[in-house]
Amino acid sequence: MAGLVSQRRAKRLFRRLIIPMIGLMLIWTAGLVRFADSIPKIIEEPTRRTDAIIVLTGGSGRLEEGLNLLESDMAKTLFVSGVYQGLEVKTLFRMFKRNPRGLESRIGIGTATNTLGNALETADWFRGKSFKSMRLVTAAYHMPRSLMEFKYAIPNAQIIAHPVFPAHVKVDEWWAWSGTLELIVSEYNKFILSGLRQQTEIFF
């Protein structure tokens, strides 16, 4: 009899644990799909000029795109957030085989080590120059979290998303490629944590 009672209790405990876990997993999965759908597929407003171009380093194609935009006079200045300490603008031009042609004085460099740091150091730089608009350059898969952090850190700024599309990241069929799936799941989890941190800061 005691054994039967114990089995019933174990089953009730199992149901109490497994049902919420399944529910949370379903919510997480639905959020992942929604997050993946929010990853930009195109560059919107590609010809609109802004006060500044902000490049978040850490992936292929970002800095090159930022330099192309500056050379096209799409903004007054370029700020590169997340460059190694001690790296100079001249070194950047040598790395990417560019001719400064008067652009050197229009480039600033930061030293942030993560997306939150990118947003915070850009906020300090941005406000110091009394700018109102920026074009944010980063990888497409990184854009949702970057926009969330930048809008939180610089709420009054007009931000135009300018995604870069690395060839190895298959955004259109992200679920079918293990590397892309892992990358987007990681970004989604970081997105959730960033949102929770912001909510905590608001309430406390």
* Domain chopping of the chain, boundaries: 39-204
Which tokens in the block code for residue 43?
């560059």
Within 8 A by CB and 6+ apart from 121, the residues are 81, 110, 111, 112
As a whole number of angstroms, the distance between CA 53 and CA 49 comes to 9
**pTM for the model:** 0.86
- Quote the mean pLDDT of the chain: 87
Whole-number percent of the chain with pLDDT over 70: 84
At residue 2 the predicted structure's pLDDT band, cuts being 50, 70 and 90, is low
Rg (CA), the chain: 22
pLDDT at 49: 97
- C-beta separation of 150 from 55 below 8 A: no
CATH architecture of 39-204: 3-Layer(aba) Sandwich (3.40)
Q: Quick check: 105 pLDDT over 90?
A: no
For residue 86, the number of C-alpha atoms closer than 13 Å in the C-beta half-sphere is 0
Which tokens in the block code for residue 130?
């009394």
